[in-house]
Amino acid sequence: MSTDTMAVDSLELKPGIAGFMDDWGSDQRAFKGVPWGKAMMWIFLVSDTFIFGCFLASYMTVRMSTLDPWPVPSEVFALSFGGAPIPLILIAIMTFVLITSSGTMALAVNYGYRKNKWVTFWLLFATALLGATFVGMQVFEWSKLILEEGVRPWGNPMGAAQFGSVFFMVTGFHGFHVSIGVIFLFIFSYKVARGHLDDQTPGWFTKRGGNYEEIEVLGLYWHFVDLVWVFIFAFFYLW
Amino acid sequence: MEHIAHDETSFVRPAEVGEMELYHAKTWLGKYVFSQDAKTIAIQYAATAIAIGMVALVLSWVMRLQLAWPNTFTFIDPAYYLQAVTMHGMIMVVYLLTALFLGGFGNYLIPLMVGARDMVFPWLNMISFWVYFTAVVLLAASFFVGGGSTGAGWTLYPPQAILPGTPGSETGILLMLASLAVFIIGFTMGGLNYVVTILQARTRGMTLMRMPLTVWGIFVATVLALFAFPALFVSAIMMSLDVLLGTSFFMPAIMTMGNEADHVGGNPLLFQHLFWFFGHPEVYIVALPAFGIVSDLISIHARKNIFGYRMMVWAIIIIGALSFVVWAHHMYVSGMNPYFGFFFATTTLIIAVPTALKVYNWVLTLWQGNIHLTIPMLFSIAFLLFFINGGMTGLFLGNASVSMPLSDTLFVVAHFHMVMAVAPVMVVCGAIYHWYPKITGRWYHEGMARFHFWVTFVGSYLVFLPMHYLGIMGVPRRYFEITGTSFLPDSAQTVNASITIAALVVGFAQLVFLYNLIFSAMKGQKAPGNPWNATSLEWQTEHTPPQHGNFGKELPCVYRWAYDFSVPGVEDDFIPQNVPPRSTTSEAAS
């Protein structure tokens, strides 16, 4: 968004509550120095928070409504290595991978603002690969549940039918978010590598000039997806 | 005599960002079909919404014919009747009013009123319309599939919505859920545009507290929609899974048609909570833009500043915030802890405070104003009457103990039609007439417009006022026919017939309206750029209708609020927002 590249430094912003009141009382922009894309992503993420909030609230409700016993997560989500089941081992690795990808993403944003093209590219690419790894492990987890444990959306041998329903729905919806993120990470790695953000090449659809601020917008989304995973992890695997 | 010559733009802060890049399409498709100009998108939104709204209007005739003369029209069977009820409600609330206020008026007016070249993400805006269009097509498709559209009532309560025996439980319900999900995706794209444009793309001098109330109403409504639609989205996904995969989110163990259904252990109340967590804010998603627009119409056509502008803004914000904590007042009879009922009754009644404040302010704006009884003003006054009437009955229904005996009677139907159907539609009509000269550059036919107003106004009262009495008598809503009841006198049926006649007449009057809009756009008298002597920026554009990019070479600077009408000591009775401070006083003349 080359329209937003105006020198933000020239704005003198007051700190604290007084500054907040000044900004919101002023003309043009309520969030001073915030590009449009970034403002949009923040608002979208609040909206998306409501979606995941509704999903998690529904999960808690159906878990309390059902009369059948809820399966024990530490037993369902255990993997056996050398005969001894290790509870939650796969989930631990998945969580580690996803949180690591947040780290590489944050670095990518930083190097992006320094216009360090190749470091940004490699960090974005690493983030995309880590995200893809996460999705791959989720595929493994799902297929194990479906093929070996016999868990189906409409029922399972361990207990309440809602266990499978809500698990597949919520982790599936989160996995969908991760997959979208991975696709955009690959697209932006390509754009960074080809120098589209340096040259402000018009976007394929929007026809607007590329900019390294877009990396930060993508980063916001990626961190959000990670944060949601932390909640899913706590509510599905630890409860 | 001293510093007159200085640059008037020094009254406002310098521009923080450069001009918006606009993509000017060269092909016919890019200009008129996949247009990225918010004004074209607005007209596309409005036309689609009104087209599907006409379908819903016809469906209301189906209902009324059956209720007035049961067993007369053989093409209306109980299933068809229930489908008409359902589709009428859903189309009117979501696909007509929400899309028209936010997608239609929002797209047209936000960039013009805040002084932006366009929405901040024009491409996303274009996609938003086409996703909405897809949702409408999906919805319309459900009329033609086997089993027809869903007949579950617009609230789509499970378990009945998806059990066999309910019309449309084969495919109709799935198409409805899919259409809603698609609508929400499309709306989110548009909604992000509206919010970011208002927050981040205002012109120089346009502070939030100088925005016309129209923008405020649409802004807060969009924020509500962005936070309320997720609940509907989630419940649509969950119910689709219940239908498609046989999950049991909303479905308890249940006997249907003598057989045990495959479901076990779900929670039907969960759906009601999710639905109304969306459904109540939805009322204000429709009402707040109407509040905002009507404030501007009243102020402009009474040549007087809006009474208590800041109060009006805060009332909109407070109503928006409160609308998220009142949802369970729709569920008094669903089986809820009475303490919850007490809580929700209390919050509901608190909403009456900011709402009443707005009504007082509208009336006080009219008070001693120079009222021009133009078409927009007539519709605004009609809005006030309907809204006050509907607000009063809201007090009955907000109190749990009074609400319970009135639940599911025509009293409820009368209430919500008064307050969130007819009242906003009055504003829609008034607003269309008001901005018609700007949008088309031509005048509507005054005589037809007056005919449309009086028939719609009087007719709508004749439709919905008697319904209150029927409701208090105990006539239930959604019933195909009521026979063999001892508590209803025969006159109830006569009232029903008279309501139907009024409804038919009002419906046909809308055809006059549409004819007027289409005919006048081609043959109407040429209109000047600012026929109402209004102050807000959309009337100050170089061209009428405004071109792509809205304003001329330079974006306007804003020096004042939008309500400088009849300012003492000024020759004209209005000062546009982009007129600098000194040029209106005698000082400038010297």
Query: What confidence score (pLDDT) does residue B7 get?
Result: 67
**What are B207's strand-pairing partners?**
A27
Q: Is the pLDDT at B590 greater than 70, yes or no? A: no
Percent of chain A past pLDDT 90, that is, above it, reads 73
Tell me which H or E stretch contains A215.
helix A213-232
* B337: three-class secondary structure by DSSP: coil
Q: How close B272 gets to chain A, by Cα (Å)?
A: 11
pLDDT bin (cut points 50, 70, 90) of residue A3 is very low
Q: How far apart are the first and last CA of chain B?
A: 7
| Res. B179: pLDDT tops 50 | yes
Question: Could you state, in order of their start, the residue ranges of all structural domains in chain B?
Answer: 29-194, 207-249+266-372, 535-590
Taking only the tens place, the pLDDT of each residue in B221-252 is: 999 999 999 999 999 999 999 999 999 999 99
Question: For the stretch A75-111, what's the b/e string if a residue is b when 16 or more beta carbons lie within 10 angstroms of its beta carbon?
Answer: ebbbeeeeeeeebbebbeebbebbebbbebbbbbbbb
| pLDDT tens column, B122-154 | 999 999 999 999 999 999 999 999 899 999 999
pLDDT band at B6 (very low <50, low <70, confident <90, very high): low
Q: How far apart are CA A139 and CA B491, in angstroms?
A: 66
Contact B200 A36 (CB under 8 A): yes
CA distance A47 to chain B (A): 5
* For range B539-565, the mean pLDDT: 92
Q: Which of B21, B230, B267 sits opposite A61 (nearest CB)?
A: B267
Number of H helices, E strands in chain A: 7, 2
Sign of CA dihedral B35, B40, B46, B47: negative
Q: Give the distance from residue B19's alpha carbon to the nearest chain A alpha carbon, in angstroms.
A: 6
Q: How confident is the model at residue A1 (pLDDT cuts 50, 70, 90)?
A: very low
**What's residue B20's pLDDT?**
87
A67 at the B interface (CB within 8 A)? yes
pLDDT-based confidence at residue B1 (cuts at 50, 70, 90): very low
Q: What pairs with residue A156 in β-bridges?
A: A159
Q: Does A45 touch chain B (CB under 8 A)?
A: no
Judge: A43–B226 Cβ closer than 8 Å, yes or no.
yes
Which residues from B are below 8 Å from A31, CB to CB?
199-200
For B241-324, where are the E strands, in sequence order?
255-256, 259-260
Q: How far is CA B373 from CA B351, B369, B453, B565, in A?
A: 31, 12, 12, 17
Q: Which residues contact B170 (CB under 8 A, 6 or more apart)?
A: B145, B146, B147
Calculate the average pLDDT of chain B. Answer: 93
Among A105-109, A208-212, B278-282, the minimum mean pLDDT is found in A208-212
Q: Is residue B461's pLDDT more than 80?
A: yes
pTM for this predicted structure = 0.95
Of B21, B200, B248, the CB nearest to A161: B248
The answer to whether the beta carbons of residues B286 and B94 sit under 8 Å apart is no
**Which residue is closest to B238 within chain A, CA to CA?**
A169
Residues of B with CB below 8 A from A25's CB? 207-209
* C-beta atoms of B241 and A161 within 8 A: no
pLDDT at A226 over 80: yes
Total beta-carbon pairs less than 8 A apart between chain A and chain B = 163
**Residues in chain B within 8 Å Cβ distance of A13:** none
CB within 8 Å: B266 and A66 = yes
Residue-wise burial string across B190-220, b where 16 or more C-beta atoms lie within 10 A, e elsewhere: bbbbbbbbbbbbbbbbbbbebbbbbbbbbbb
HSE-up of residue B1 (Cα within 13 Å, Cβ side): 0
Q: Which of B187, B194, B248 to mutate to test the interface with A (most CBs of A within 10 A)?
A: B248
Q: Which residues pair with B222 in a beta bridge?
A: none
Q: Using 50, 70 and 90 to split pLDDT, how confident is the model at A202?
A: confident
Binding-face residues of A in 146-175 toward B, CB within 8 A: 153-154, 160-162, 164-166, 169, 173
Residue A81 to residue A86: CA distance in whole angstroms: 7
- DSSP state letters, B90-152: HIIIIIIIIIIIIIIIIHHHHHHHHT-SS-S-HHHHHHHHHHHHHHHHHHHHTTTSTT-S--S
Lowest mean pLDDT among A3-12, A131-140, B176-185, B489-498: A3-12
- Interface probe, candidates B10, B11, B13, B17, chain A, greatest A C-beta count within 10 A: B17
DSSP conformational letter for A146: I
Domains, chain A, with CATH or none:
36-238 (1.20.120.80)
- The sign one gets for the Cα dihedral B463, B375, B372, B309 is positive
Amino acid A199: pLDDT: 87
Q: Is the pLDDT of residue B514 over 70?
A: yes
Query: Which comes out higher in pLDDT, residue A10 or B317?
Result: B317
Q: How far is A173 from chain B (nearest CA, A)?
A: 10
Report percent pLDDT > 90 for chain B.
Answer: 84
ipTM confidence score: 0.93
> Does residue A6 belong to the interface with chain B, where contact is any CB pair within 8 Å?
yes
Q: Which of A106-110, A191-195, A209-213, B375-379 has the lowest mean pLDDT?
A: A209-213
Determine the pLDDT at residue B585. Answer: 55
B299: which residues sit within 8 A by CB, 6+ positions away?
B305, B306, B365, B563, B565
